Structure 1
Amino acid sequence: MNDQGVSQIVYSKNVVEFVTVASEYCATIENAGHHTPKENLDKLQKILPLLYLKAALLPKVESVMEEELEKFVSELDYNTVHQKWLQLLGEHDSFYEVFDPSIQFGDETVTASISENLVDIYQDLKDFITSYSIGNEEVMNDSLAECVFHFSEFWGQQLVNVLRAVHMLVVGDVDFMEDTSDEAAPGKGNPKWLDNFWGTNEEED
């Protein structure tokens, strides 16, 4: 691919719009401590569907460099952001996973973590937008290619899965101020908030 072709891709309308939404998502994840759980979830309810749409519109991209891309989100960065969201959500971090390729045809249920899903997506997007902001068009191209691949293989499914839980927390009557005796752990235990949510809806019906 020539330089002109790379330039046309990395500055195309769909890519620039995706970068804008991805940047907004990363800022939301990083600044969660400045807002209440309800405010953060209200924002995620709106930005997650838009992020999926913009990612789905990205072009298929081929890598042009032989070198591996630099990663910018360290393990410490990941853990710091993860702990922030885990503390924010507390017992509401767990939700039942309904799409897991390893168990989708069985009767088992899997408990997943909202915070882990959100931060996994954040890690990929933060690495991408940081590489994109460097301004080297070959780096921009290859970071885009990697992001598109990871969307298809990994975080696209994570996004649609966690959106279900975010939606239920937003529309349900959830008390984030309620104290719990057990220390929160990502995706562990029975998501009682979800049982209560369904129980409340059944009573209303």
Structure 2
Amino acid sequence: MSDSGTNQIVYSKNVVEFVTVANEFCSTMENVAHFSAEDNLKRLQKLMPLLYLKIAVLPKFDRIMDDELEKFISELDYNMLHQKWLQLLGENDSFYEVFDPNIQFGEETVRASISENLLDVYQDLKDFITAYSIGNEDVMHDSLSECIFHFEEFWGQQLLNVLRAVHMLLFSNADLSGETSTDDDVVPGSGNPKWLDNFWGTNEEEM
């Protein structure tokens, strides 16, 4: 691909808008300790649909380099940020997964973790925007191509799943004060999502 062709992609209006939203999402994830659980979730509630839209309108295109792209988020980075979100959400970290290829035609339920889903999306986006910020247009091009591929194959579904959970958590009777989030040994997705039971119970009574 010519340099002009690469420029047209990586500096296009739609790509710049996606980068802006992705950067805001990553900033929200990283600054979790500065806001309450409710404020963090409200910010994500607004960002996640926009993030999905901004990447969904981007066209697919092939990579131009043979070299593997550098990854910037280490396992330690992931785990440290994950613990911050897990401590913030506590037992509210759990939600019932409704789209899983392994159980979608069965009757069993699967509990998933809000924090893990968010961090998986964050990891891919942070690797992308870090590579994009370097300024090497070939790297920018290929990192965007890879990000779009991962969105289609992996984190796009996670984004939709966790958005559902965030919406229900915000509009349930869940306690988001943090009083139940002090256990240092909280396990992702292992809490009792009472807020979900309360949500369904309340809405069934109103119907």
Please give the range of the TM-score, normalised by the shorter of the 2 chains: over 0.9
Distance 1:160 1:151 in 2: 11
Quick check: 1:61–1:144 contact (8 Å CA) kept in 2? no
Using the TM superposition, give the Cα deviation of residue 92 of structure 1 relative to its aligned residue in structure 2, in angstroms: 0.3
Quick check: 2:94–2:189 contact (8 Å CA) kept in 1? yes
Aligned match of 1:119? 119
Amino acid at match of 2:127: D
Using the TM superposition, give the Cα deviation of residue 180 of structure 1 relative to its aligned residue in structure 2, in angstroms: 7.0
Aligned match of 1:188? 190
Distance 2:32 2:182 in 1: 23
Distance 1:192 1:130 in 2: 38
Distance 1:118 1:2 in 2: 36
Distance 2:148 2:205 in 1: 43
Using the TM superposition, give the Cα deviation of residue 98 of structure 1 relative to its aligned residue in structure 2, in angstroms: 0.4
Distance 2:31 2:182 in 1: 27
Any stretches of 5+ residues in structure 2 without a counterpart?
none
Deviations 1:112-162 (A, max 9, x none): 000000000000000000000000000000000100000000000000000
Answer yes or no: is 1:100 the counterpart of 2:100.
yes
Distance 1:144 1:198 in 2: 39
Aligned match of 1:166? 166
Quick check: 1:61–1:141 contact (8 Å CA) kept in 2? no
* SS at 1:53 equivalent: helix
How high is the TM-score relative to the length of structure 1?
Answer: 0.95
Distance 2:173 2:193 in 1: 15
Distance 1:131 1:73 in 2: 11
Aligned CA-pair RMSD: 1.5
Distance 1:180 1:193 in 2: 14
* SS at 1:165 equivalent: helix
Any stretches of 5+ residues in structure 1 without a counterpart?
none
Q: Could you list the runs of 4 or more consecutive aligned residues of structure 1 that deviate by over 6 angstroms after TM superposition?
A: none
Aligned match of 2:201? 199
Quick check: 2:90–2:191 contact (8 Å CA) kept in 1? no
- Does 178-187 or 56-65 show the bigger shift? 178-187
Distance 2:96 2:122 in 1: 21
- Does 184-193 or 55-64 show the bigger shift? 184-193
